[in-house]
Chain A
Amino acid sequence: MSGEALIILTLLIPAAGAVLIALTSWQENVREGTTLVTAAALFLVVMTILGRVMDGEQPMTGAFQVVPGLELAFRVEPLGMIFACVASSLWIVNSIYSIGYMRGNNEPRQTPFYVCFAVAIASTLGIAFSANLFTLFLFYEILTLSTYPLVTHKGDDNAKAGGRVYLLILLGTSMLLLLPAIIATAMIAGTLDFTPGGILAGKADNTTIALLLALFMFGIGKAALMPFHRWLPAAMVAPTPVSALLHAVAVVKAGVFTVVKVVVYVFGVDALASSGSADWLVWVAGFTVIAASAVALRQDNLKKLLAYSTVSQLAYVVLAVSILTPLAVVGAALHIAAHAIAKITLFFAAGSIYTASRLTEVSQLDGIARRMPWTMTAFAIGALSMIGVPPTAGFLGKWFMLVGAMNTGEWVAVVVIVLSTLMNAGYYLPIIVRAFFKPPGKDVKAHVKGEAPMPIVMALTATAAGTVLMFLFPEVPLTLARLLAGV
């Protein structure tokens, strides 16, 4: 099959899946079966493309011109490949988990849930494989809109309020900042195609570049750079599989992915480094890392804690990019994948606890590991990866970032990384200690009967294993990341 056909398949499969899911709403098992088959088919196609990319190919499609200068086109490059692999593989796990969670909690309106999920995945792949800023922006907005019903799934006032914040911040930043930045880029560079070396390199003076960079970095609201991070905690009202989708599979990853993509292919790493227009970004990203960690330290609600942890982890990626050396870009790419798989494990564990016991606060979890050993072991692995302890995936990204930062003498970044690692340990380790070493508290005794339903446990075991495996066998992501950074 041609590369073009494969790319189009990756978009069509989840889209067709969405239609099929809607059509099979009359029978739960058939509907969930459809979801799983779609996810598996998508994964296979992505793997086929991966094979091609590892052989050095870059499959691409022809361009469809919307208006002169705006084209709909797709091209697979290494970073998009990493993102597509993460999204498509985690969708399978997430689907299995969703089935357990949605049934276990008797959630209403499950069909729209699965439909929106499939649409969100389709748009995620559209983002991953986009060949220009317009295509990326198009799918970026579709992703926002298709996840809005998921965030407001519960439909109560809380969910509506959360949904409002979610929609307004994401649409607001993308329209107010990102769109003008794209229009300006089109005017200045004359093209929106992602090109190695950057399309803006040498086309504008340093002030303009700095201004555009600011528009892009804050405009990509999904990357949750402070002060535009509020939507992430607000979206915590959603059911756990949605949080997993937001935090691990699609949404925030789409944000940082876009950040890396814009820096590498629109500005150009070297051009940006030599212009010095990006120096401020280290500070903003560093501040976000530290501040979000500090907020996380004070959280008792488990999902809120995880949300702020995500804000801080995302800022790592932006920080890594702002160091502007190839090694750090490798670190950024790896961190996208590593954080995805570890954070999904953590959310799965949080959802597992909620499904089994309705417990939501950290302080209620004394000794829970004795009743839910699988869940809490997975949680521990995920948490270690967040801190960046080997043998977990989180170590890889941090390592490259640190080396990159030290090589360029970017001491601010080094300090931030080290300090935040300590802070991460400061809020994750107590949970582990509490869960494993304290005697069961009254909440645990009263509510926890045993493990959550089977699909949930399966899913979180798989992702926890993945977290370790990625550390042990990092060839594929590492090769892709190196291809991206050109080292």
Chain B
Amino acid sequence: MIAANLPALQVVLPLLGAVLCAFLQRGVWAWGIALVVSVAMPFVAAGLLIQVLDGGIISYAMGGWEPPIGIEYRIDVVNAFLLLLVSVIGAVIMPYAKRSVEKEIAPEHQPWFYAIYLLCLCGLLGIVITGDAFNVFVFMEVSSLATYALIAMGRDRRALLAAYQYLIMGTIGATFYVIGVGLLYSMTGTLNLADMANRLEGIENSRAVLAALAFLTVGISLKLALFPLHVWLPNAYTYAPSMATAFLAATATKVAVYLLLRYFFTVFGASIIFTRLPVAEIFLILSLAAMFGASIVAVFQDNVKRMLAYSSVAQIGYITLGIAIANKTGLTGGIVHLFNHALIKGALFMAIGAVFYQIGSVKLDDLAGLGKRMPITMGAFVMAGLSIIGVPGTVGFVSKWYLGLGAFEQGWWWLVFLLVASSLISVVYIGRIVEVVWFRPVSAAAKRAKEPPLSMLLPTLLLVAATVYFGFDTSLTAGIAERAAEWLLAGIR
């Protein structure tokens, strides 16, 4: 019974949890509920992944209405993997959240914070699990609205501006998405993604379908912060509460990338995307622009959270580069980086959140000498930083290896050089932090800092350990990414 209804549980549990949280008075209780729900999620997701790996695609008719009329939850290797990723990050971050939220959010707002967080989680999981184009929009808005509210809860008043800006851009993105879906619906008469893919055969060249593709691509690219549609991201990540930043950086953009993959490969099919339209070329150029442009901007930031935010934009470039390379190895690299970057950025933002918890600032100058006061936290930060750089033995290297091999297979040897050249820029910005943290005298802000409480430290270390572990044992990550890539590209041949 439970096993058969796992797909529904994945979305309904956080939704119910959110409602419960909203009725509570005390932050601790709300935290308890959010913790229970978040910790349950990975088990649900793992159950689904096991079912998918054993028995193939799961089709779940929500509310008993059969697809294609009813809403179908459709789970294959790709989204089972994503579900696991999002829910694991959500679970790891909850123990961390308690102290961080107590510090950054006013007590009377804490239950609301957790309620909104659970809504956001629900929306993200929903986008991933559903097989219905319009349902995706609904979940996208659930998660987006929750995200705007989460960002607005940041202590700095500029958080409000960041949330407002994101609201405007996010809504435009979502509306573009709906336009695309509307055009597709008028051409195919269905909203079920699988059904839509079948009915698109033969009419791929019609102008409405191409226009739909353009709207969808731009809309989703806004959500995933593809350069140059990334302008909302740095402010949003900088001013959001630490816990929200860590969660969003690790999951939100990844889910948007998933959605893009879903449309490109399963709905439209790789042949129309890559052979008839210059999508690969456009993505290649934009990815490279992100990898270099955003990395260089990151070097000159004085606010560490903003630096990491720009680094995120650059790293998203690596993921989309995997799409642009468009062969199995390259796509594997993109998908595996999706997972790896979630781990890395989660760890980095959690470490920085712990710093904020202790010294109340994320200005680079205030971090001076912190290596002596918080050696474990900063050590964790540097380890995750090495992953961003792509040092062998970390997850970052695995992604880069696949991307590099993919580029070679495609005959783009110059891309290999660009790939590694851009990671050199990350050496500079991570190196800047290292120098300040270890080689400068202790700053006034950092004078009385000490290691954060264990509830914050352990989840951070867990993620950092994962970045090293999955740098060596890639059977889970790269293995699944490879299967996913193979499956996505099956459309071509």
Touching chains A and B, CB distance < 8 Å: yes
Please list the residues of chain A having a beta carbon within 8 angstroms of any beta carbon in chain B. 64, 66-67, 69-70, 72, 134, 137-138, 141-142, 145, 149, 152, 155, 159-160, 163-164, 167-168, 171-172, 175-176, 179-180, 183-184, 186-187
Closest beta carbon of chain A to B41's beta carbon, Å: 28
Q: How far is the CA of A145 from the CA of B391 in the complex (A)?
A: 10
Residues of B within 8 A of A180 (CB): 404, 413, 416-417, 420
Closest beta carbon of chain A to B11's beta carbon, Å: 33
Closest beta carbon of chain A to B398's beta carbon, Å: 6
- What mask results when residues 384 to 410 of chain B are scored 1 for a CB within 8 Å of chain A, else 0? 001001111100001011101100110
Residues of B within 8 A of A66 (CB): 398, 471-474
A168 touches B472 (CB 8 A): no
- Which residue of B is nearest A64, CB measured? B472
A176 touches B421 (CB 8 A): yes
A179 touches B420 (CB 8 A): yes
Q: What total count of A-B pairs have CB within 8 Å?
A: 76
Stretch from B229-237, B258-266, B423-431 forming part of the interface with A: B423-431
User: Which of A67, A155, A167, A187 meets B398, CB within 8 Å?
Assistant: A67
Q: How far is the CA of A437 from the CA of B389 in the complex (A)?
A: 54
Residues of A within 8 A of B478 (CB): 67
A138 touches B408 (CB 8 A): no
User: Which of A142, A145, A164, A175 meets B424, CB within 8 Å?
Assistant: A175
B402 touches A171 (CB 8 A): no
Residues of B within 8 A of A70 (CB): 401
Q: How far is the CA of A142 from the CA of B473 in the complex (A)?
A: 18
Residues of A within 8 A of B408 (CB): 183-184, 187
Most buried by A among B416, B420, B423: B420
B435 touches A160 (CB 8 A): yes
Most buried by B among A67, A70, A149: A67
Other contacts beyond A183-B405, A184-B416: 18, CB < 8 A: A64-B472, A66-B398, A66-B472, A67-B401, A69-B405, A142-B391, A142-B393, A152-B439, A155-B438, A159-B439, A167-B427, A168-B427, A168-B428, A168-B431, A175-B420, A176-B424, A179-B400, A183-B401
Q: How far is the CA of A73 from the CA of B328 in the complex (A)?
A: 27
Residues of B within 8 A of A164 (CB): 431, 435
Known: A64-B472, A141-B391, A152-B439. A171 touches B405 (CB 8 A): no
A141 touches B416 (CB 8 A): no
Residues of B within 8 A of A171 (CB): 389, 424, 427
- Which residue of A is nearest B404, CB measured? A183
Interface residues in B475-493 (C-beta closer than 8 Å to A):
478
A-side binding surface: helix, strand, loop or mixed?
Answer: helix
B427 touches A138 (CB 8 A): no
Residues of B within 8 A of A167 (CB): 427, 431
User: Which of B389, B392, B420, B435 meets A137, CB within 8 Å?
Assistant: B392
Q: How far is the CA of A138 from the CA of B424 in the complex (A)?
A: 17
Q: List 30 A-B contacts (CB under 8 A).
A: A66-B471, A66-B473, A66-B474, A67-B474, A138-B393, A141-B393, A142-B391, A142-B393, A155-B439, A159-B439, A160-B439, A164-B431, A168-B424, A168-B431, A172-B424, A175-B421, A175-B424, A176-B417, A176-B420, A176-B421, A180-B404, A180-B420, A183-B401, A183-B416, A184-B408, A184-B413, A184-B416, A186-B405, A187-B405, A187-B409
- Which residue of B is nearest A187, CB measured? B408
Q: How far is the CA of A406 from the CA of B417 in the complex (A)?
A: 39
A145 touches B398 (CB 8 A): no
Closest beta carbon of chain A to B116's beta carbon, Å: 39
Q: How far is the CA of A46 from the CA of B431 in the complex (A)?
A: 35
Closest beta carbon of chain B to A157's beta carbon, Å: 9
Closest beta carbon of chain A to B167's beta carbon, Å: 40
- Which residue of A is nearest B440, CB measured? A155
- Which residue of A is nearest B427, CB measured? A171
Closest beta carbon of chain A to B314's beta carbon, Å: 15
Closest beta carbon of chain A to B85's beta carbon, Å: 18
Interface residues in B430-486 (C-beta closer than 8 Å to A):
431, 435, 438-439, 471-474, 478
Q: How far is the CA of A179 from the CA of B390 in the complex (A)?
A: 11
- Which residue of A is nearest B336, CB measured? A67
Residues of A within 8 A of B391 (CB): 141-142, 145
- Which residue of A is nearest B405, CB measured? A183
Q: How far is the CA of A179 from the CA of B420 in the complex (A)?
A: 8
Residues of A within 8 A of B417 (CB): 176, 180
Closest beta carbon of chain B to A131's beta carbon, Å: 15
Q: How far is the CA of A168 from the CA of B439 in the complex (A)?
A: 17
Q: How far is the CA of A359 from the CA of B438 in the complex (A)?
A: 29
Closest beta carbon of chain B to A171's beta carbon, Å: 5
- Which residue of A is nearest B392, CB measured? A138
Known: A138-B393, A145-B391. A179 touches B404 (CB 8 A): yes
Nearest 6 CB-CB pairs, A to B? Answer: A138-B392, A175-B420, A183-B404, A180-B416, A187-B408, A155-B439
Q: How far is the CA of A184 from the CA of B416 in the complex (A)?
A: 9
Residues of B within 8 A of A67 (CB): 398, 401-402, 474, 478
- Which residue of A is nearest B403, CB measured? A183
Closest beta carbon of chain B to A204's beta carbon, Å: 13
Residues of A within 8 A of B423 (CB): 175
Residues of B within 8 A of A159 (CB): 439
Q: How far is the CA of A138 from the CA of B392 in the complex (A)?
A: 5
Q: How far is the CA of A186 from the CA of B400 in the complex (A)?
A: 14
Q: How far is the CA of A69 from the CA of B438 in the complex (A)?
A: 37
A145 touches B386 (CB 8 A): yes
Closest beta carbon of chain B to A125's beta carbon, Å: 16
Closest beta carbon of chain B to A213's beta carbon, Å: 16
Closest beta carbon of chain A to B251's beta carbon, Å: 24
Residues of A within 8 A of B402 (CB): 67
Residues of A within 8 A of B471 (CB): 66
Q: How far is the CA of A262 from the CA of B398 in the complex (A)?
A: 23
B472 touches A134 (CB 8 A): no
Closest beta carbon of chain A to B334's beta carbon, Å: 15
Q: How far is the CA of A277 from the CA of B257 in the complex (A)?
A: 45
Q: How far is the CA of A349 from the CA of B144 in the complex (A)?
A: 67
Residues of A within 8 A of B398 (CB): 66-67
Q: How far is the CA of A255 from the CA of B404 in the complex (A)?
A: 24
Closest beta carbon of chain A to B427's beta carbon, Å: 5
Q: How far is the CA of A186 from the CA of B402 in the complex (A)?
A: 12
B420 touches A134 (CB 8 A): no
- Which residue of B is nearest A168, CB measured? B427
Residues of B within 8 A of A183 (CB): 401, 404-405, 408, 416
- Which residue of A is nearest B435, CB measured? A160
Q: How far is the CA of A288 from the CA of B32 in the complex (A)?
A: 67
A134 touches B439 (CB 8 A): no
Known: A64-B472, A180-B404. A134 touches B424 (CB 8 A): no
Q: How far is the CA of A167 from the CA of B428 in the complex (A)?
A: 10
- Which residue of B is nearest A154, CB measured? B439
Q: How far is the CA of A70 from the CA of B393 in the complex (A)?
A: 11
Q: How far is the CA of A168 from the CA of B438 in the complex (A)?
A: 18
Q: How far is the CA of A171 from the CA of B420 in the complex (A)?
A: 10
Residues of B within 8 A of A69 (CB): 405
Closest beta carbon of chain B to A205's beta carbon, Å: 15
Interface residues in B58-87 (C-beta closer than 8 Å to A):
none
Q: How far is the CA of A149 from the CA of B404 in the complex (A)?
A: 30
Residues of A within 8 A of B424 (CB): 168, 171-172, 175-176
- Which residue of A is nearest B332, CB measured? A67
Q: How far is the CA of A134 from the CA of B400 in the complex (A)?
A: 13
Residues of A within 8 A of B392 (CB): 134, 137-138, 141
Q: How far is the CA of A121 from the CA of B402 in the complex (A)?
A: 30
Q: How far is the CA of A186 from the CA of B408 in the complex (A)?
A: 10
Closest beta carbon of chain A to B367's beta carbon, Å: 16
Residues of A within 8 A of B390 (CB): 175
Residues of B within 8 A of A160 (CB): 435, 439
Closest beta carbon of chain A to B389's beta carbon, Å: 8
Interface residues in B363-391 (C-beta closer than 8 Å to A):
386, 389-391
Closest beta carbon of chain A to B73's beta carbon, Å: 32
Closest beta carbon of chain B to A38's beta carbon, Å: 22
Interface residues in B104-159 (C-beta closer than 8 Å to A):
none
Residues of A within 8 A of B393 (CB): 138, 141-142
